[in-house]
Amino acid sequence: MSTNVVGIDIGSAAIRAVELRDPDKAKPTVMRYSELPLPAGAVNRGEVIEPNTVSSVLKQLWSTGGFTSKNVVIGMGNQRVLARDLTLPKMSQTRIREALPYQVQELLPVPVTEAMLDFYPVSEEQTEGGPVVHGLLIAAIKEAVLGNVRAVEKSGLTTLGVDLIPFALTRALLREGAGAGTVAIVDIGASATTIVIASNGVPQFLRIIPAGGDDLTTALAQRLEIDSLQAEGIKRGVGLRTRVDDPQFQRPMEIINEVTSELLSSARNTLDYFSQARPDARVERILLTGGGAQLSGLPDALAELTRTPVVPADPFASLGLAKSFRPEQLGQNKSSILVALGLALGSAA
């Protein structure tokens, strides 16, 4: 009997959802995808601020998108989520989770009672003191997570789980042979940029940078004294470049270069830090995704700055597609499906 699960990506500007059939099978089937815009301020950096608004949009999304399942997985991945390298004595995952509150308080910016904790094992090692397990400590502000869950369940949906967005990206992009070697995924969203580095499909390191595509739009609007719609149009029209033929675009070009260079430098510094910490796992390629990654000239700039190939990703390579699903409906931005798709895939775990 087939089982359908829906992954929900609650962004700052829109809610996106993907329904998968048999996510635990070797080749799950994408049944449907839909998205709806959110009013400004309803969600701030991945955290639901107006639960009634989000709930209303979700109900509309289920109606217009034709989703047949109410079992959902939602994602978290903003500045209310922290990830740190952590090494612990080897023990069962159950015992590790029980011990975390007593082990990690000094690593957290909030009291441990206000955080939800988990541990993602990466590798094991035999040391003089005995066997240890290396992994990632994941901590999320409890109230932020529960607030998102309440907004989702207010719309009549059942939350099967809450997953980390970087892990969802890894599942969506690094399935089967696509995950060979060491790969960096750089996902530029509206308000945050997620970088996750994986070796042979296993996440090794992640960082969430509090900057995204909306920061560039805001900078253009403020400095040029124009509205956000005009700023968005200029951003898309000018792109990232070193010269313009029309003098009226000289100032916008300078603003775009300045703001974007800060984000790209943060991405490069993240890759450099990983290379220094893991000299045996050099990043071989970068998969660039997210709405902010659609800025013309940005992929070439990232490749030049990091001296690492930036390659396209195909999220549908190892998936079945229902007859009613048309990838071309996503337009040029296929990456819009990635987070929701990875969340649905994670339900099998």
pLDDT of residue 83: 84
Both 305 and 248 in one domain: the answer is yes
Residues 244, 254: Cα–Cα separation, whole Å: 10
Domain holding 224, by residue range, is 179-313
**Is 151 part of a structural domain of the chain?**
no
For the segment 97-122, the average pLDDT, to the nearest whole number, is 88
Q: Could you tell me the CATH number of the domain that includes residue 199?
A: 3.30.420.40
**Is 157 part of a structural domain of the chain?**
no
All residues at 6 or more sequence positions from 248 whose CB lies less than 8 Å from its CB, including other chains: none
**Is 222 part of a structural domain of the chain?**
yes
For the segment 150-170, the average pLDDT, to the nearest whole number, is 93
Which comes out higher in pLDDT, residue 337 or 1?
A: 337
**Is 337 part of a structural domain of the chain?**
no
Tens of pLDDT along 270-285? 999 999 988 888 899 9
Both 192 and 298 in one domain: the answer is yes
| pTM assigned to the model | 0.86
**Is 146 part of a structural domain of the chain?**
no
Give me the sheet containing 81-89, strands edge to edge.
81-89, 130-141, 115-127
Both 194 and 309 in one domain: the answer is yes
Both 118 and 185 in one domain: the answer is no
Could you give the number of structural domains in the chain?
A: 2
All residues at 6 or more sequence positions from 37 whose CB lies less than 8 Å from its CB, including other chains: 13, 14
Tens of pLDDT along 184-239? 999 998 888 999 999 988 898 988 888 889 899 999 999 999 999 999 999 999 99
Q: 3-class SS at 186?
A: strand
Among candidate residues 178, 259, 160, 254, the one with its CA nearest the CA of residue 217: 259
Tens of pLDDT along 302-333? 999 999 999 877 788 778 888 888 777 776 66
Residues 346, 349: Cα–Cα separation, whole Å: 5
Both 85 and 185 in one domain: the answer is no
**Is 225 part of a structural domain of the chain?**
yes
**Is 29 part of a structural domain of the chain?**
no
pLDDT of residue 1: 39
pLDDT of residue 24: 85
pLDDT of residue 156: 95
**Is 76 part of a structural domain of the chain?**
no
Q: Does residue 157 have a pLDDT over 90?
A: yes
Instruction: Report the greatest alpha carbon distance in the chain.
Output: 67
Q: Could you tell me the CATH number of the domain that includes residue 112?
A: 3.30.1490.300
What per-residue string of b and e applies to 185-208 under the rule 16 or more CB within 10 Å gives b? bbbbbbbbbbbbbbbebebbbbbb
